[in-house]
Copies of this chain bind each other. A is one copy, B any other.
Amino acid sequence: MTYNIGLLGLGTVGTGTAEILLNPDGRSPLLRDIRIHRVGVRALNKPRTVDFEPGVLTTNLDAIVADPEIDIIVELIGGVERARELILAAIAHGKHIVTANKAVIARHGDEIFSAAQTAGVYVLLEAAVGGGIPIIQPLKQSLGGNRIERVTGIINGTTNYILTQMQDEGAAFDDVLAEAQALGYAEADPTADVDGFDAADKISILASLAFGGRVRYEDIDRQGIRNISPADITYAQQLGFTIKLLAIAQWSTAQNSLHLRVGPTLVTNHHPLASVNGVFNAILIDADPLGQVMFYGPGAGKGATASAVTADLLNITALLQSEKLEDGLHPLLTCTHTDYCPITPTEAVETRFYARFLCGDRPGVIGHLGTCFGDHNVSLESIVQIGYHQDQAEVVVVTHDVREGDFHAALDAIHGFEEIDDIHIASVFRVL
């Protein structure tokens, strides 16, 4: 049996998806059961690289989501408000949804999945996280025997490209950003990427799947990469670390709660995530009893994202062919949880830290720093005067696992002594 899809948006990913569906040779035989019925675009007369039958293209997206002949809506217009409206309308009309839109799911997932549950339809979103890397489906279908302990991801290609270039070329953030913008790897307004919003959207989706509860976007501790200096990258390297923008969702069994964060993080050079470079993404999952698995691949791009969209289309088609929807949806592919995950307060999280200080170069500075940390229960792994910067000594501190609250109390105490002791905090990052 053939199923009709309505494609909303014919940009890069929409075009890539259409190219797969219109050229099924050598791919899954099930693709022949999927037919592009309507494609919603902004303007009909734009030159395009794929050809459709007359009447397929339309600018009336509201008509597509209401079209009784359509079984599955593929939402690829991006953005939040209009996408939310179209997805909810399509669900109300009994359509299954495939989307690559992390923002709309991260911010309105509760509303969308509740509506889908009521309407008895699937909402699949493999393309929303990790581009072409299969990660949503494995989380839903392959790891259910485990207790997930931590999800750690390099899930924003733009920032990973920038950090890789900064490391390889010793260049400053602003210069590499400008270069990335010229190459099309970064947007004209780079905020969503470089300030960690995109990674926060994605980790909230992964966390919700991994830990079986909803996640509020505002519960994510978020820090971008603008404040990473070439000095930090160099010193991190000298200490055996690479700086990556990591998105982490970590379950605390002791506190029975979840901590979510996005921020620049030092990773030891032999860690599998340290060698994930350029625009590649990787997601590492720690689980009991499985251990550690990693999924690695292209985090964006036409073909990669279209591959993920097509995977969802194939899965819905396969289910429609083999199940009776009145008997209920496939329980691993639906989102039934309605409770929110309890959140670990940031100050109670245990992690390691890297901090760089600029100090007047006089005796006792290292001792003073050491004492200050010790007074606040912050145990140090190393404290090294590592270089000079404009006549000031640069001192780098790496801690053992400590409570974030204790670490920040120590920093406040050090900060309080700034004027008398001439110690300035230049940068602070977590260490994995």
For window 266-298 of chain A, which residues contact chain B by CB distance below 8 Å?
270, 272, 275, 287-298
**Does A384 have its Cβ within 8 Å of any Cβ on chain B?**
no
**Does A143 have its Cβ within 8 Å of any Cβ on chain B?**
yes
For window 290-311 of chain A, which residues contact chain B by CB distance below 8 Å?
290-298, 301-304, 306-311
**Which residue of B is nearest A309, CB measured?**
B145
Minimum CB–CB distance for A174 against chain B, Å: 28
Given the complex, which residues of B lie within 8 Å of A288, measured CB to CB?
303
State A19–B212 Cα separation when bound (angstroms). 21
A311 touches B144 (CB 8 A): yes
A141 touches B137 (CB 8 A): yes
**Does A27 have its Cβ within 8 Å of any Cβ on chain B?**
yes
**Which residue of B is nearest A291, CB measured?**
B298
- Across the interface, A296 reaches (CB within 8 A) one of B134, B144, B272, B311, namely B272
**Does A63 have its Cβ within 8 Å of any Cβ on chain B?**
no
A138 touches B134 (CB 8 A): yes
Given the complex, which residues of B lie within 8 Å of A133, measured CB to CB?
293
Given the complex, which residues of B lie within 8 Å of A328, measured CB to CB?
321-322
**Does A318 have its Cβ within 8 Å of any Cβ on chain B?**
yes
**Does A26 have its Cβ within 8 Å of any Cβ on chain B?**
yes
Most buried by B among A19, A126, A292, A331: A331
**Which residue of B is nearest A328, CB measured?**
B322
State A296–B297 Cα separation when bound (angstroms). 11
Interface readout for A405-429 with B: 1 if CB under 8 Å, 0 if not?
0000000000000000000000000
B30 touches A332 (CB 8 A): yes
Given the complex, which residues of B lie within 8 Å of A362, measured CB to CB?
none
State A150–B311 Cα separation when bound (angstroms). 19
Interface magnitude class on chain A: 35 or more
Given the complex, which residues of B lie within 8 Å of A318, measured CB to CB?
141, 330-333
**Does A324 have its Cβ within 8 Å of any Cβ on chain B?**
yes
A27 touches B145 (CB 8 A): yes
Given the complex, which residues of B lie within 8 Å of A132, measured CB to CB?
290-291, 293
- Across the interface, A297 reaches (CB within 8 A) one of B20, B294, B311, B315, namely B294
**Does A314 have its Cβ within 8 Å of any Cβ on chain B?**
yes
Instruction: Tell me whether A144 and B332 are in contact in the complex, defined as CB-CB below 8 angstroms, given that A275-B275, A296-B272, A297-B292 are known contacts.
Output: no
Given the complex, which residues of B lie within 8 Å of A147, measured CB to CB?
26-27
For window 312-326 of chain A, which residues contact chain B by CB distance below 8 Å?
313-315, 318-319, 321-324
**Which residue of B is nearest A136, CB measured?**
B142
**Does A53 have its Cβ within 8 Å of any Cβ on chain B?**
no
Minimum CB–CB distance for A377 against chain B, Å: 30
**Does A60 have its Cβ within 8 Å of any Cβ on chain B?**
no
27 examples of A-B residue contacts, CB within 8 angstroms: A16-B289, A20-B289, A27-B146, A134-B134, A134-B138, A134-B142, A134-B293, A137-B138, A137-B141, A141-B311, A144-B314, A145-B306, A145-B307, A270-B275, A289-B302, A289-B303, A290-B298, A290-B303, A291-B298, A292-B297, A293-B295, A296-B296, A318-B333, A319-B322, A321-B327, A321-B330, A323-B330
* Further 20 A-B residue pairs, CB within 8 A, beyond A290-B298, A290-B303: A28-B144, A30-B332, A133-B293, A138-B138, A141-B141, A141-B318, A142-B308, A144-B314, A145-B310, A272-B296, A287-B307, A289-B304, A291-B301, A291-B303, A293-B295, A293-B297, A296-B296, A318-B333, A322-B330, A324-B327
Q: Which 7 A-B pairs have the closest CB atoms?
A: A289-B303, A145-B310, A28-B144, A293-B297, A134-B142, A323-B323, A290-B307
